[in-house]
């Protein structure tokens, strides 16, 4: 059976099982069925500290090379926000052969996909190529690690700074309510770097320089601060030897220790308004919850869609309501945000969210929880269908559990959540925990993304 069809069938079976569980009532309904999954891999560490994970799977026709550096926006120097993201862009302009940059080399090997992403905690580079092109793909990543900014000049840095600036505009500054969630998270972390947008603040753009970037990569782009994942169609023994040959001589160095996230100085809720040029109000609610993989995190992930759906049902009017967990390594964020109708009252939405949480805490809605477990388990399963998804999941598991093959651990953790644990987590974090509320108020002449009337700072 083809891999994609098999995974889809398994997901449908899981969903069907969950639907049956949901009919058993409150006590039995919270049970979820899960498939048995395995991401068998080999893991070893080079003498220079590079962490290597090999996940061969001959059912794929290609191979993904994924390198994660444990450096993200939380490591941006004060007043140089956005530097980690800027560096991510700059490395694609590196010229390891003195002529062609990494983007051109990746195109030459016929990379199906090649891209990168910067988060709060990490920067991840990935490329998917035909198996025959794996040696060159590994050479490219070894060159990025050994000489991240070789051949990058001031003109290239200025051009990339413009690209980063335009990205911020397209994603936030020129988007209705684009600053709303960013500001809520920033307030939740009380201005700490952990709440800094990965794109950085606009007023720090001029500090995104090539000299700052070079200092940054010298400190953080080291083999002892990275994990290499290779997943797909490849021969593991010869590939391991090639990894040692290409990466083994890259020197390690002492990596700056990241500052631990300080606890909130106050437990008081924070309520703010912001002016927006849109003709309808919007609201963002944010709470601190446990970091990815920690106790209580799975319960809060299961709560997102349930809180959103119950809120939507009570309001009984069109509203773009979204709930999500932003998962990070030291603390995560539970977010509920909505774009309301022009004459809607933000307080009515906030009250509906509060009542949705109370319903889930006070009533034993096991059928709802069981169905949500089933949906999340199916979603986790489908993430494994693409080889890029597999490589990213393996990276996530190394960071989260220090074990690449943790898919079964994840599925068990989701399935084993009891309703009393679920209700207790919601009460602790969403009812008793500190909440940040930001309301976007329609204001003539204000930018549609939102205007605080004050510069953001760390």
pLDDT digits (tens, 9 = 90+) for 335-382: 999 999 999 999 999 999 999 999 999 998 999 999 999 999 999 999
Residue 33 pLDDT exceeds 80: no
Instruction: Give the tokens for residue 117.
Output: 């992403």
pLDDT score recorded for residue 24? 32
The structural domains of the chain, with segments of one domain joined by +, span 42-247, 262-442
Residue 6 pLDDT exceeds 90: no
Mean pLDDT of 210-238: 97
Q: For residue 196, which phi and psi values (nearest 5 degrees)? A: -80, 135
Fold of the domain built from segment(s) 42-247? Cytochrome Bc1 Complex; Chain A, domain 1 (3.30.830)
Residue 1 pLDDT exceeds 90: no
Contacts (Cβ under 8 Å, ≥6 apart) of 380: 407, 410, 411, 414
72, 123 contact by CB (below 8 A): yes
Q: Which tens digits make up the pLDDT trace of 88-123?
A: 999 999 988 778 888 888 888 888 788 999 999 999
Just give the CATH number of 262-442: 3.30.830.10
Residue 455 pLDDT exceeds 60: no
pLDDT score recorded for residue 453? 63
pLDDT score recorded for residue 23? 33
Q: For every residue of the chain, which 3-state class applies, written as one string?
A: CCHHHHHHHHHHHHHHHHHHHHCCCHHHHCCCCCCCCCCCCEEEECCCCCEEEEEECCCCCEEEEEEEECCCHHHCCCCCCCHHHHHHHHHCCCCCCCCCCHHHHHHHCCCCEEEEEECCCCEEEEEEEEHHHHHHHHHHHHHHHHCCCCCCCHHHHHHHHHHHHHHHHHHHHCCCCCCHHHHHHHHHCCCCHHHCCCCCCHHHHHHCCHHHHHHHHHHHCCHHHEEEEEEECCCHHHHHHHHHHHHCCCCCCCCCCCCCCCCCCCCCCEEEEEEECCCCCEEEEEEEECCCCCCCHHHHHHHHHHHHHHHHHHHCCCCEEEEEEECCCCCEEEEEEEECCCCCCHHHHHHHHHHHHHHHHHCCCHHHHHHHHHHHHHHHHHCCCCHHHHHHHHHHHHHHHCCCCCHHHHHHHHHCCCHHHHHHHHHHHHHCCCEEEEEEEECCCCCCCCECCCCCCC
How far apart CA 333 and CA 311 sit, in angstroms, is: 19
pLDDT score recorded for residue 16? 40
Question: In this predicted model, which residue has the larger pLDDT, 20 or 419?
Answer: 419
Average pLDDT, the chain: 89
Does the pTM exceed 0.85?
A: yes
Mean pLDDT of 231-239: 97
Asked whether the domain spanning 262-442 has the same topology as the one spanning 42-247, the reply is yes
pLDDT score recorded for residue 5? 37
Q: Burial-class residue 458 by CB neighbours within 10 Å (0-12, 13-18, 19+).
A: middle
Of 7, 3, 111, 101, residue with least CA distance to 63: 111
Of 212, 228, 172, residue with least CA distance to 75: 212
% of the chain beyond a pLDDT of 70: 91
Q: For residue 77, which phi and psi values (nearest 5 degrees)? A: -65, 150
Q: Which tens digits make up the pLDDT trace of 260-290?
A: 888 888 889 999 999 999 999 999 999 999 9
Mean pLDDT of 133-148: 95
pLDDT score recorded for residue 105? 86
Mean pLDDT of 149-166: 94
């Amino acid at each position: 059976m083809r891999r994609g069809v098999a995974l889809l069938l398994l997901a449908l079976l899981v969903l069907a099982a969950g639907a049956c569980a949901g009919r058993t009532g409150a006590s039995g309904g919270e049970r979820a069925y899960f498939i048995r999954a395995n991401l068998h891999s080999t893991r070893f560490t080079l003498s220079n500290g590079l962490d290597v994970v090999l996940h061969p799977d001959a059912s794929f026709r290609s191979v993904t090379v994924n390198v994660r550096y444990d450096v993200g926006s939380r490591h941006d120097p004060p007043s140089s926000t956005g530097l980690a993201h800027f560096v991510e862009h700059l490395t694609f302009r590196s010229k390891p052969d003195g002529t062609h940059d990494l983007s051109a080399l990746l195109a030459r090997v016929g990379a199906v996909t090649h891209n990168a992403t910067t988060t709060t905690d990490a920067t991840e580079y990935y490329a998917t190529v035909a198996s025959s092109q794996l040696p060159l793909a590994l050479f490219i990543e070894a060159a990025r690690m050994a000489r991240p900014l070789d051949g990058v000049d001031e003109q290239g840095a200025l051009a990339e700074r413009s690209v980063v600036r335009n990205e911020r505009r397209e994603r936030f500054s020129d988007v209705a309510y684009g600053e709303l969630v960013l500001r809520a998270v920033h307030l939740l972390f009380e201005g700490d770097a952990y709440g800094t947008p990965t794109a950085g603040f606009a007023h720090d753009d001029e500090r995104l320089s090539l000299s700052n970037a070079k200092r940054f990569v010298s400190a953080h782009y080291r083999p002892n601060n990275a994990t290499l994942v290779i997943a797909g169609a490849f021969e593991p023994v010869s590939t391991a030897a090639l990894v040692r040959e290409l990466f083994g001589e890259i020197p390690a160095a002492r990596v700056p220790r990241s500052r631990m996230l300080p606890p909130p100085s106050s437990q008081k809720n924070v309520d703010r308004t912001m002016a927006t040029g849109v003709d309808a109000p919007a609201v963002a609610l944010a709470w601190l919850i446990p970091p990815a993989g920690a106790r209580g995190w799975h319960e809060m992930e299961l709560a997102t869609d349930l809180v959103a759906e119950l809120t939507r049902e009570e309001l009984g009017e069109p509203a773009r309501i979204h709930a999500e967990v932003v998962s990070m390594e030291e603390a995560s964020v539970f977010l509920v945000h909505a774009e309301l109708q022009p004459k809607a009252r933000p307080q009515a939405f906030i009250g509906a969210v509060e009542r949705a949480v109370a319903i889930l805490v006070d009533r034993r809605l096991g059928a709802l929880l069981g169905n949500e477990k089933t949906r999340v388990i199916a979603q986790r399963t489908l993430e494994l269908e693409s080889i890029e998804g597999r490589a990213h999941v393996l990276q996530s598991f190394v960071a989260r559990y220090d074990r690449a093959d943790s898919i079964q651990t994840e599925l068990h953790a989701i399935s084993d959540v009891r309703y009393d644990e679920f209700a207790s987590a919601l009460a602790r974090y969403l009812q008793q925990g500190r909440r940040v509320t930001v309301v976007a108020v329609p204001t003539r002449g204000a930018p549609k993304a939102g205007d605080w009337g004050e510069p953001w700072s760390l």
